């Protein structure tokens, strides 16, 4: 695959790339650059964490990147997830890996690495200290967004340590590309600013789209990034999230109730799922309707679906039913995976855990 095609593939992942010129130089000078994504094991897995992450990782692999998935168990512990129980956090980490196996991530080509192993290395903590020494407390607190926290919250000392660790992760993993969501932008910018100052490099940031929750977007005129974060799918609002083990009935119920204004494709979560999940996994979307309402129609691209919907030629309920059916078909293999063997035992353990914000 030539440089232009690799750039195009990565651009399909990156809603924002900082910077495209840096990415081009990286691809021209390194045959297999290292990309990484990290995640807090913090409970049930929704489709943004499951399906969308698998889609993005597979594209990065196809573009010739070596991918490292960082199981940020100590970060989740610092952030008081799962009641601050490290053992439970690590079980959830294993559960997520099983989800990705079942939903199509090319896991054989992904290096799964655990923060629990890194913390045993004194060199890791030297990098954390270097990040802290070259940052102000105010700047680190501004990065609290990466943990799902706000600057106004009363943070525990462990949570203030978290951004220093996440910036250090990039250099510890020798990552050329930070391939994370837009909500991780602030710490990636911190790493770009201080990387060369502490003897490392300026990593490229490829920030992917954050899938919307099913509720109505908040009213307000916040900047684009803050607004995207406010609208993103969150397990803390389970009624507006589709989880990777939801039943067919739950999926249909949640999507039927979803915010989906007629003729509006923008900031419409049902259209969002069609664009970033369904058309990425299938060549078409079939909408079944009675003959008196136009009959069954097949859309072969998101652009075609968007125009038809915006023109008022597709009713929201018909769209919802089609998206729910297609989403359920993608989740069915995951449900099946967790109905037997070691995966079932793991899922049963996770189901009994209390989820803490």
**Who wins on pLDDT, 219 or 287?**
287
The reply to whether 164 and 83 lie within a common domain is yes
The reply to whether 270 and 165 lie within a common domain is no
pLDDT value of residue 226: 79
Evaluate whether residue 237 is within a structural domain: no
Evaluate whether residue 107 is within a structural domain: yes
Segment 195-199 shows an average pLDDT of 95
- H helical segments located in the chain: 3-13, 20-29, 53-62, 73-78, 86-102, 115-118, 122-133, 137-142, 157-172, 185-194, 224-231, 248-256, 269-273, 279-281, 302-310, 316-337, 341-351
Q: Which of 212, 183, 182, 207 is nearest to 272 (CA)?
A: 212
Q: Please state the domain count of the chain.
A: 2
| Domain harbouring 88, CATH code | 3.40.50.620
pLDDT per residue as tens digits for the range 127-137: 999 999 999 88
Evaluate whether residue 348 is within a structural domain: no
| Domain harbouring 301, CATH code | 1.10.240.10
pLDDT value of residue 227: 81
Evaluate whether residue 153 is within a structural domain: yes
Q: What angle do CA 193, 357, 206 make, to 5 degrees?
A: 30
The reply to whether 179 and 270 lie within a common domain is no
Six token digits for residue 269: 């979560």
The reply to whether 198 and 121 lie within a common domain is yes
The reply to whether 118 and 54 lie within a common domain is yes
The reply to whether 171 and 301 lie within a common domain is no
pLDDT value of residue 329: 97
The reply to whether 189 and 318 lie within a common domain is no
pLDDT per residue as tens digits for the range 149-169: 555 666 777 788 889 999 999
The reply to whether 85 and 162 lie within a common domain is yes
- Cβ contact 331:282 at 8 Å: no
The reply to whether 109 and 250 lie within a common domain is no
Task: Return the SS3 of 135.
Answer: coil
Evaluate whether residue 48 is within a structural domain: yes
pLDDT per residue as tens digits for the range 21-71: 999 999 999 999 999 999 988 878 999 999 999 999 999 999 999 999 999
pLDDT value of residue 283: 93
Sign for the CA dihedral angle at 103, 107, 111, 115 comes to positive
Evaluate whether residue 71 is within a structural domain: yes
The reply to whether 304 and 171 lie within a common domain is no
| Confidence check: pLDDT of 356 > 70 | no
pLDDT per residue as tens digits for the range 101-125: 999 999 999 999 999 999 999 999 9
Evaluate whether residue 72 is within a structural domain: yes
Residues 6+ apart with CB under 8 A from 300: 283, 284
Q: Note the pTM of the prediction, 2 decimals.
A: 0.91
Evaluate whether residue 347 is within a structural domain: no
The reply to whether 72 and 199 lie within a common domain is yes
| Confidence check: pLDDT of 357 > 90 | no
Can you give the residue range of the structural domain that contains 303?
A: 246-337
């Amino acid at each position: 695959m030539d440089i232009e095609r690799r750039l195009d593939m990565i651009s399909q992942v990156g809603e924002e790339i900082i910077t495209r010129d840096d990415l081009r130089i990286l691809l021209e000078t390194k045959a297999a650059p290292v990309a990484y994504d990290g995640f807090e094991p913090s409970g049930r897995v929704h489709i943004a964490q499951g399906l969308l992450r698998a889609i993005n990782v597979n594209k990065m692999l196809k573009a010739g990147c070596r991918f490292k998935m960082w199981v940020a168990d100590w970060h989740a512990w610092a952030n008081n997830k799962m009641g601050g129980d490290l053992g439970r956090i690590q079980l959830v980490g294993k559960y997520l890996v099983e989800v990705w196996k079942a939903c199509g991530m090319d896991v054989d080509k992904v290096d799964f690495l655990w923060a629990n192993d890194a913390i045993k290395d004194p060199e890791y903590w030297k990098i954390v200290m270097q990040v802290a020494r070259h940052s102000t407390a105010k700047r680190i607190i501004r990065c609290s967004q990466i943990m799902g926290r706000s600057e106004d919250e009363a943070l525990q000392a462990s949570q203030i340590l978290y951004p220093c660790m996440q910036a250090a992760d990039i250099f510890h993993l020798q990552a050329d590309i930070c391939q994370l969501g837009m909500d991780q932008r602030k710490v990636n910018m911190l790493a770009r600013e201080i990387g060369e100052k502490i003897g490392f490099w300026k990593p490229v940031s490829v920030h992917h789209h954050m899938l919307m929750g099913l509720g109505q977007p908040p009213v307000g005129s916040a900047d684009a990034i803050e607004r995207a974060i406010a609208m993103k799918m969150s397990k803390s609002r389970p009624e507006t999230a589709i989880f990777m083990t939801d039943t067919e009935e739950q999926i249909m119920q949640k999507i039927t109730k979803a915010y989906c204004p007629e003729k509006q494709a923008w900031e419409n979560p049902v259209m969002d799922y069609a664009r970033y999940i369904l058309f990425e996994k299938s060549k078409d979307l079939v909408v079944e309707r009675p003959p008196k309402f136009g009959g069954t129609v097949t859309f072969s691209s998101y652009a075609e679906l968007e125009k038809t919907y915006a023109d008022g030629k597709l009713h929201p309920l018909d769209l919802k039913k089609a998206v729910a059916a297609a989403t359920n078909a993608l989740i069915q293999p995951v449900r099946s995976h967790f109905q037997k063997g070691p995966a079932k035992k793991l899922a049963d353990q996770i189901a009994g855990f209390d989820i803490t914000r």
